[in-house]
Amino acid sequence: MKYLHTMVRVTDVDASLKFYRDALGLEEVRRSEHEAGRFTLIYLAAPGDEDAQIELTYNWDAETYAGGRNFGHVAYAVPDIYAACQRLKDHGVTINRPPRDGRMAFVRSPDGISVELLQDGPALPPAEPWISMPNTGAW
């Protein structure tokens, strides 16, 4: 398993970059615009340490974040998304967003922290029981 990033939702990209980039000293690693989903992702990291990133997610439509909703998730790359989810399930963890696509899943910690699991490398071929498994709760 490898740590990837922590995601926080932001309401003002310019103000956020002034804080994270200009004041804190992080460097922008990459940025992507997702018109269909109406959001922008900006990844930043400390100079020389691109392995530990923060993902700023800016949703284009105005939204008020309450109850910690601005904190998104912690993400890890795993060598086999299905094996990782099966292990979690065997330990009694609810798979909130199953890896129907062979690439991404979400679970929650006992304290409600959302954890994203991403297939390291290309997506695995879709497989049961994951294809038929519905989302459960919030992720």
User: Based on the number of CB atoms within 10 Å of its own CB, is 124 exposed (0-12), middle (13-18) or buried (19 or more)?
Assistant: middle
Would you state the structure tokens that stand for residue 6, as one six-digit string? 């922590």
Total count of domains within the chain: 2
**What is the per-residue pLDDT across 36-67, written as a single tens digit (0 to 9) for each?**
999 999 999 999 989 989 999 999 998 887 76
Q: What is the structure's pLDDT at 32? A: 97
CATH number of the domain where residue 33 is located: 3.10.180.10
Whether 32 is covered by a domain: the verdict is yes
**What is the per-residue pLDDT across 105-122, written as a single tens digit (0 to 9) for each?**
999 887 687 889 999 999
Residue 99: closest CA among 134, 62, 51: 134
Whether 136 is covered by a domain: the verdict is no
Q: What is the structure's pLDDT at 72? A: 79
Q: What is the structure's pLDDT at 111? A: 66
Residue 5: closest CA among 35, 34, 44, 33: 44
Domain that holds residue 115: 74-119
Claim to verify: residue 55 and residue 83 sit in the same structural domain: no
**What is the per-residue pLDDT across 65-81, written as a single tens digit (0 to 9) for each?**
776 777 878 888 999 99
**What is the per-residue pLDDT across 81-112, written as a single tens digit (0 to 9) for each?**
999 999 999 999 999 999 999 999 999 887 68
What are the start-end ranges of the H helices in the chain? 13-17, 81-90
Claim to verify: residue 46 and residue 15 sit in the same structural domain: yes
Claim to verify: residue 47 and residue 85 sit in the same structural domain: no
- Which residue in 28, 35, 50, 116 is the catalytic one? 116
Q: Is 35 annotated in the active site?
A: no
- 77 within 8 A of 2, measured Cβ to Cβ: yes
Whether 127 is covered by a domain: the verdict is no
d(CA 35, CA 50): 26
d(CA 57, CA 14): 12
Q: Is the pLDDT of residue 131 over 70?
A: yes
What per-residue string of b and e applies to 49-58 under the rule 16 or more CB within 10 Å gives b? eeeebbbbbb
pTM here? 0.71
Q: What is the structure's pLDDT at 126? A: 95
Whether 95 is covered by a domain: the verdict is yes
Would you state the structure tokens that stand for residue 124, as one six-digit string? 């695995």
Claim to verify: residue 10 and residue 50 sit in the same structural domain: yes
**pLDDT averaged over every residue in the chain:** 91
CATH number of the domain where residue 85 is located: 3.30.720
